[in-house]
Amino acid sequence: MATPFRAIPAIPSGNEYYNAKAKELNERMEAQIPAGLRLSKDILDSLPVNVMQIPETCGLLSENELAITELDATALCAKIAKGELTAVETVTAYGKRAAIAHQLVHCLVDFFLEDGLARAKELDQYFAREGKVVGPLHGLPVSIKEQTPVKGKLGSAGFLSTVEFSAEDSLMVKILRDLVFYVKTNQPQSIMHLESVSFHGRSLNPYNTNLTCGGSSGGEAALLAMKGSPIGVGNDGGGSIRDPCAKCGLWGLRPTSLTMPQGDYYHYEMGNDGIIPSTGPMCRSARDINFFISAVRSTKPHLVEPLLIPLPWSIPDKLERKLRVGIMMNDGEVVPQPPMMRALKLAKSKLEASGEVEVLEYIPYQHKAGYDIIRELYFEDGGATVRRVLEEGGEDILPLTEWVISPPHTRDHTISEAWDLRYRRDKYRQAYSDYWNASDCDVVLCPPFPGTACPHDMARYWGYTAIWNLLDYPGVVFPSGIKLDPRVDVAYESNQPLSEPDKYFRDFYDAEYMVGAPVNLQLVSRRFNDCMLMAAQKIVEKIILS
C-alpha cells in the first residue's frame, strides 16, 4: 500500500475569510474545554494509534465517573429513576469524558457543559420534589449532530457559509428537552462523506486514529465510542448513521424515513425530496435504540411535523414465524475486505449452527443499478448548489466532496430528466420489492461497508448503505464481535476484482495499518418493518455474540 494518507490530512482550507473564520471557530471550541480537563502534554505527545483507553488512564476521571460512563442509556435512566444516580452526576461524568474524547479524536464543534449542568440540576430538583422522573429519558445526556438545531448553539449544513448559532430548537430537540444537552458534534463538508472532516477539523477513529470514524454523523460515533456520550442523534441519507456506527463499533438504526422528526434540520438543498434522509439514534447497545425511539414516538411527532407518518412503534416479543435470515456476502460490485468477510462467515456459521433461524443465501438484485440511481438523485442540479455554498464561504472543495458531485453520477437535469430519474427510482423500488418478496427473507444480513473503517479520505463507495436508502428499507448496524486482526485478516480469497471500486478497495487494504478496527454487520428489512427488524436483530446478535 502507498503511504500518502498515513499522515492525517490537514483540515480543509479556503480563502482568507474562510481561514480566519475556521480558526476562530476552532479556537472557540478549544477554549470551551475547561483547564481542569486538559490532557497533559506528556499524554498528547505520545499518543498511541488506539486511544480508547486514555479516558481511563489519564487520571482526569474518578472511579465513579468511569463507572457511570460505562453504562448504556437504558441502564443510566433506570438508575436515575430509582434515585441511584443524579442527573448532575451523570452529565458531569459524560461532560468530562466528552472533553477528554475531543482532545483525542476531535469530535465536537460546540461544548456547553454548564448549560447541561444547569438543566440537570433542575431535573434533580424535580425528582427530589416530586419523587419521580419527568419522563423516560429524564436526565440522560445526549449528543447532537451539528446539523440538528439546538437553540443558541452552533449549527450548520456542512459548509462554513451556513454556520450560525441556531435561533430555535429543532422539533427533535424540543421533544428531547427532558434530556440534557451538552455537546454538538462534527460532520463532514456537505454532510455527504462517509468521513467527518469539515471547517471544524477532522474527527478520528478512536480504535485507530489512522482511520476515519466514518460519516456523516462521525463526530457522534467517535464521541460515543469514547464513551463521551451514552446516546446520540444522527441523520442518514446514504449511510450517515450506519456508516459511522459501523466504523466505531456501535449500534445504530436508520429507521424508515419520515417516521422521526427532522424537518427543520440544516440542509443546503432545501426542497430536494428525491431521497429523504432519516433520523435515528446512535447507541452503545441495541436496547437503547428501542428505548430512544419509543420515547420519541410516544410524543406523536407527526402531529407537529406534518410530513411524518404516524407508524406505531412496538417491538414484538415473538415473530410470526421462524426468522428467515438472508445472508449477502457481497453486493455484486465490491467484495468486502478480509475482516468483513471473516465476520460474515463467522456470523453465517453461528446462525446455521444455532438452529434458531433459517439461513438463506441472499443474492443482491441489481445493486449497481440502484446505487447509480441514488447517486444521480443526490445532486439533481449537478452539484451547482454545493459549489455555490462553498464559494459563499470561500471554502475549498474537499476530495470526497468533489468525488460525490462528479460526473458521470452527478449532472444537471431538466425537469423532464428529473421526472425520468424519479420514475426510474420508483420502478427500481417496485422491482426490488417483487424480488425481495420472492426471496422470502425476513431480514438480510450484509456488510455496512466493504470493510472496516478505512484510512482517511478513502471511503469512495456507499453501495452497502445507500442502496437501502434508495429502497427506504430500515437498517441497523451492530458489532460482529471481532476486530481487524492482521494475523488472520491477511488476504482476499480471490484476486479477481468485480469492478473498479472493488479494485480500489483491494489496493488500499492494509491490515497492519488498519489494525484494531471494529467489524460491524448490518441487518435490513423491508420498508416500515422497523419493529420486526429490531426483534430480528436481537435474535441475530444473541447468536452471533454467543
Per-residue binder mask for its own copies (CB under 8 A), 260-299, x = binder: ---x-----xxxxx--------------------------
Per-residue binder mask for its own copies (CB under 8 A), 354-383, x = binder: --------------------------xxx-
Region from 101-109, 302-310, 365-373, 509-517 binding its own copies, contact rule CB under 8 A: 302-310
Q: How far is the CB of 276 from its own copies (least distance, A)?
A: 11
Q: List the one residue from 430, 488, 496, 545 that touches its own copies (CB under 8 A).
A: 430
- Indicate the DSSP class of residue 498: S
Residue 2 or 303: which CB sits closer to its own copies?
Answer: 303
- Spatial separation of the C-alpha atoms in residues 247 and 21, rounded to whole Å: 30
Q: List the one residue from 311, 319, 360, 369 that touches its own copies (CB under 8 A).
A: 311
Does residue number 174 form part of the binding site for its own copies (CB under 8 A)? no
Q: Hey, CA dihedral for 290, 292, 298, 304, is it positive or negative?
A: negative
Q: How far is the CB of 307 from its own copies (least distance, A)?
A: 7
# chain residues binding its own copies, by CB under 8 A = 44
For residue 27, what are the CA distances in angstroms to 22, 30, 189?
A: 9, 5, 19
CB atoms inside a 10 Å sphere around CB 63: 8
Does residue number 409 form part of the binding site for its own copies (CB under 8 A)? no
Say if CB 205 and CB 211 are below 8 A apart. Answer: yes
Q: How far is the CB of 485 from its own copies (least distance, A)?
A: 40
Q: List the one residue from 126, 492, 504, 528 that touches its own copies (CB under 8 A).
A: 528
Q: List the one residue from 31, 118, 307, 491 that touches its own copies (CB under 8 A).
A: 307
Q: List the one residue from 385, 452, 469, 522 that touches its own copies (CB under 8 A).
A: 385
Q: How far is the CB of 274 from its own copies (least distance, A)?
A: 8
Is 348 known to be catalytic?
A: no
Residue 210 or 525: which CB sits closer to its own copies?
Answer: 525
- Spatial separation of the C-alpha atoms in residues 347 and 481, rounded to whole Å: 9
Bridge partner list, 479: 520
Cis bond upstream, residue 240 (ω within 30): no
Does residue number 407 form part of the binding site for its own copies (CB under 8 A)? no
Q: Three-state DSSP class for 197?
A: strand
- Indicate the DSSP class of residue 12: P
Q: Torsion angle, CA of 30/35/39/41, rounded to 10 degrees? A: 90
Rg (CA), the chain: 22
Q: Which of 143, 196, 198, 240 is catalytic?
A: 240
Is 13 known to be catalytic?
A: no
Q: List the one residue from 20, 67, 118, 309 that touches its own copies (CB under 8 A).
A: 309
Residue 500 amino acid letter? E
Q: List the one residue from 471, 482, 531, 540 that touches its own copies (CB under 8 A).
A: 471
For residue 510, what are the CA distances in angstroms to 2, 47, 329, 504?
A: 10, 21, 21, 12
Does residue number 391 form part of the binding site for its own copies (CB under 8 A)? no
Residue 5 or 528: which CB sits closer to its own copies?
Answer: 528
- Spatial separation of the C-alpha atoms in residues 313 and 309, rounded to whole Å: 11
Q: How far is the CB of 232 from its own copies (least distance, A)?
A: 26
Parallel/antiparallel/unpaired status of strands 201-202 and 197-198: antiparallel
Residue 113 or 404: which CB sits closer to its own copies?
Answer: 404
Q: List the one residue from 432, 462, 468, 513 that touches its own copies (CB under 8 A).
A: 432
Cell numbers 491477511: residue = 490
- Spatial separation of the C-alpha atoms in residues 233 and 280, rounded to whole Å: 6
Q: Which of 156, 196, 198, 216 is catalytic?
A: 216
Bridge partner list, 482: 519
| Secondary structure element (H or E) that encloses residue 165, with its range | strand 164-165
Report residue 35 as a C-alpha cell. Answer: 483547564
Cell numbers 456520550: residue = 229
Residue 193 amino acid letter? H
Does residue number 310 form part of the binding site for its own copies (CB under 8 A)? yes
- Spatial separation of the C-alpha atoms in residues 223 and 206, rounded to whole Å: 9
Report residue 220 as a C-alpha cell. Answer: 457522534
Residue 46 or 416: which CB sits closer to its own copies?
Answer: 416
Report residue 281 as a C-alpha cell. Answer: 439514534
Say if CB 108 and CB 183 are below 8 A apart. Answer: yes
Residue 117 or 311: which CB sits closer to its own copies?
Answer: 311
Q: List the one residue from 7, 10, 35, 415 that touches its own copies (CB under 8 A).
A: 415
Region from 58-66, 187-195, 478-486, 522-530 binding its own copies, contact rule CB under 8 A: 522-530
Q: Which of 145, 153, 247, 483 is catalytic?
A: 145
Residue 310 or 316: which CB sits closer to its own copies?
Answer: 310
Q: List the one residue from 21, 375, 413, 483 that touches its own copies (CB under 8 A).
A: 413
Nearest to 540 by CA among 330, 227, 319: 319
Residues at the contact surface with its own copies, assessed by CB under 8 A: 263, 269-273, 302-307, 309-311, 380-382, 384-385, 412-416, 418-426, 429-430, 432-433, 437, 471-472, 526-528
Active site positions, annotated = 145, 216, 240
